[in-house]
Amino acid sequence: MSTLDKNPIDSNRTSGENLSYWIASSKPIIFEKVDKSFQTDILIIGGGISGLTAAYCLLKAGHKITLVEDGFIGSGESGRTTAHITHALDDFYYELEKIFNEEKAALAANSHSAAIEWINKTIELEKIECNFKRVDGYLFLHATDTKETLDKEYAATKRAGLLTEMLSKVPAIESENGWCIKYPGQAQFHIMHYLKGLADAIVKMGGNIFTESKAEHINKNGAKVNEFDIAANHIIVATNTPVNDVLTMHTKQWPYRTYVIGAKIKKGKLPYSLWWDTGDHDSKWITQPYHYVRLEELDEEYDLLICGGEDHKTGQADDEDIPEEDRYTKLIGWTKKRFPAIEDIVYKWSGQVMEPVDSLGFIGKNPGDDNIYIITGDSGNGMTHGTLGGMIISDIITGKENQWMDLYSPSRITLTTTDDYLREVGNMTAQLVDWVSQGDIKDAEELKPGEGGVISSGLKKIAVYRDEHNCIHAHTAVCPHLGGILQWNNEEKSFDCPMHGSRFTTEGKVINGPAKGDLKKIEIKDEDEKATDLNK
Ligand SMILES: Cc1cc2nc3c(=O)[nH]c(=O)nc-3n(C[C@H](O)[C@H](O)[C@H](O)COP(=O)(O)OP(=O)(O)OC[C@H]3O[C@@H](n4cnc5c(N)ncnc54)[C@H](O)[C@@H]3O)c2cc1C
């Protein structure tokens, strides 16, 4: 089984052309579409791990819910994850201590540990068959890093109450001679099988789930879904990047693209474990890309070694002169060096993560709203963060005390991150320079079938794509969210906004917020000013 042969992008199933192993190895999870107006108590928008966990927790607490999903269940970033379930946080506990304090770093550790236990218990309770395993995790040094990072992090994890150990050798990676921190009792699963189990349990408890049902005009009274009105007392926006808000939350987090490969490896060559390095300290990005590795059962003879990394800010791969396809080449090189027993590379895919400015995600009431809630900013810890999102919002709506509610409040102001904030804002506004720069191609003639690009025509920017039948599709390249100039992503065959991470298919259909609507189709004129509808 492999998905390296290209499939036409089906945005109901996934948000890019490359299929993840999880999506390729499971049946699409489909429900009815919304086809009439109705009233519900709690409307949940988004069918990833955050939305489904919220639905499950709220039903358990005795509420009535309706969940609507634009594509199919898991068609967003949940279906493109690598599903490490861990309390080893991307941004490190010693950084959390600096940004917040020791007490809050410990609270964060406690919350992610609780999310691991919640997932474990729910899988047992609902008898979800999803290859769930408790495994150990190992954090080792990136080639650009020094042992001081591990020493600082080890001390901080201890202060945070975690049962970590410092080891003098990285288990199972021969070429890594240095130290590592061991995190016992982490976990892993097959995300799509887990989501299927949650969805089944939700339906069993009387919850309503709809797929291919897009929510628009989200407000305190509910939302329009497929043109029908759903009235609700509470609205939870679990769309990974919030689609209810134009600006506030999008100045607190930034989109990054991250890459994954899946390689066959003979069973028994490696133990089921999680491995991460400490990140590239020479990287130009504020969120330093790191490598993340795990094993999944593939068939009777083979496991799949799933390795991710080589991140960059969305739409800005070329700023490092490393286009998307070369990111996979780098990732394969890195993996082969450390895991020489791997055989064929049978999967590759990429996805988007939202990096919060102060290293903690956002869960709770949307700033300025009383009955609209968001779950976002989960960086590479979305399995536990999305789970926490469901747990915390369920408690808020139920009126139950929750010890983590303030920590993750979307309205918090964190002054210690001003430098990083200003650098990310600088990067974001720098993208507006694309308004006056040349497009990346001069003429649609340059495009081969299956390729896209952005053309400048005076001050106009046009996103063009030549399909497999040689037809050109042309849309405005201006993001309808806040006017960023879209960039062509040749690997996932999408147009991506470098400002806030909105993404569009080659047909101009929005596949990632914060943009709410599709790209306008346009006609472009040829050099002789002859009007040409390029779709003909
Ligand atoms: C390559 C990669 C590797 C990762 N690895 C890990 C890992 O190992 N461990 C970890 O903890 N995290 C990891 N993450 C992060 C994690 O996968 C995500 O943070 C998490 O899946 C987000 O879940 P979600 O439910 O919040 O969002 P999503 O899964 O994106 O769900 C949001 C859903 O909302 C739907 N939607 C959007 N707009 C609308 C609308 N208007 N109406 C209706 N529905 C709408 C979308 O279609 C989507 O299905 C990884 C992410 C990537 C990309």
Give 348-394 pLDDT, tens digit per residue.
Answer: 999 999 999 899 999 999 999 999 999 999 999 999 999 999 999 99
Residues 463-486, mean pLDDT to the nearest whole number: 93
What's the rounded Cα separation, in Å, for the pair 491 and 513?
19
Q: What percent of the chain has pLDDT over 90?
A: 79
Contact 487, 498 (CB under 8 A): yes
pLDDT higher than threshold 50 for residue 535:
no
For position 330, what pLDDT does the model report?
97
Radius of gyration of the chain (CA): 22
pLDDT tens column, 328-346: 999 999 999 999 999 999 9
For position 533, what pLDDT does the model report?
42
Using a 10 angstrom Cβ sphere, with 0-12 exposed, 13-18 middle and 19 or more buried, the burial of residue 38 is: middle
DSSP character for 379?
Answer: G
* Nearest CA residue ID for atom 19, ligand 1: 382
Q: What is the DSSP string of 177-230?
A: -S-EEEEEEEEE--HHHHHHHHHHHHHHTT-EEESS--EEEEETTEEEETTEEE
State the pairing for strand pair 180-188/133-140.
antiparallel
Confidence band of 435 (pLDDT split at 50, 70, 90)? low
For position 149, what pLDDT does the model report?
97
pLDDT higher than threshold 90 for residue 412:
yes
Give 319-322 contacts, CB < 8 A, sequence gap 24+: 319/284, 320/284
User: What atom of ligand 1 comes closest to residue 78's alpha carbon?
Assistant: 21
The reply to whether 128-189+254-355 and 436-532 are identical in fold is no
Average pLDDT of the chain is: 92
pLDDT tens column, 223-254: 999 999 999 999 999 999 999 977 888 888 99
For position 456, what pLDDT does the model report?
86
Give yes or no for residue 387 CB within 6 A of ligand 1.
no
Give yes or no for residue 384 CB within 6 A of ligand 1.
yes
Quickly name the fold that domain 436-532 has. Answer: Rieske Iron-sulfur Protein (2.102.10)
Give yes or no for residue 76 CB within 6 A of ligand 1.
yes
For position 527, what pLDDT does the model report?
44
Assigned token pair, 434: 């694309």
Assigned token pair, 143: 């080639």
Assigned token pair, 129: 């068959």
Residues 94-116, mean pLDDT to the nearest whole number: 97
For position 245, what pLDDT does the model report?
79
* Nearest CA residue ID for atom 52, ligand 1: 81
State which of 13, 78, 259 you would mutate to test the pocket of ligand 1, scoring each by most atoms of that ligand within 8 A of its C-beta: 78
pLDDT higher than threshold 60 for residue 3:
no
pLDDT higher than threshold 50 for residue 531:
no
Phi, psi of 233 (to 5 degrees): -85, -30
Domain coordinates in residue numbering, the chain? 128-189+254-355, 436-532
421: helix, coil or strand? helix
Give yes or no for residue 352 CB within 6 A of ligand 1.
yes
Q: Out of 2-6, 198-202, 511-515, which region has the weakest mean confidence (pLDDT)?
A: 2-6
**How many other CB atoms sit within 10 Å of the CB of residue 442?**
11
pLDDT tens column, 8-31: 557 788 889 999 999 999 999 999
Pick the CATH number of 128-189+254-355 from 3.30.9.10, 3.90.226.10, 3.30.310.50, 2.40.50.100: 3.30.9.10
For position 429, what pLDDT does the model report?
66
Q: Cα of 93 to ligand 1 centre, how many Å?
A: 23
Phi, psi of 442 (to 5 degrees): -90, -35
Q: What is the DSSP string of 249-283?
A: GGGSEEEEEEEEEEEEEETTSS-SEEEEE---TT-
For position 536, what pLDDT does the model report?
34
For position 320, what pLDDT does the model report?
87
Q: CA torsion, points 426, 432, 438, 441, in degrees to nearest 10?
A: 90
Give yes or no for residue 70 CB within 6 A of ligand 1.
yes
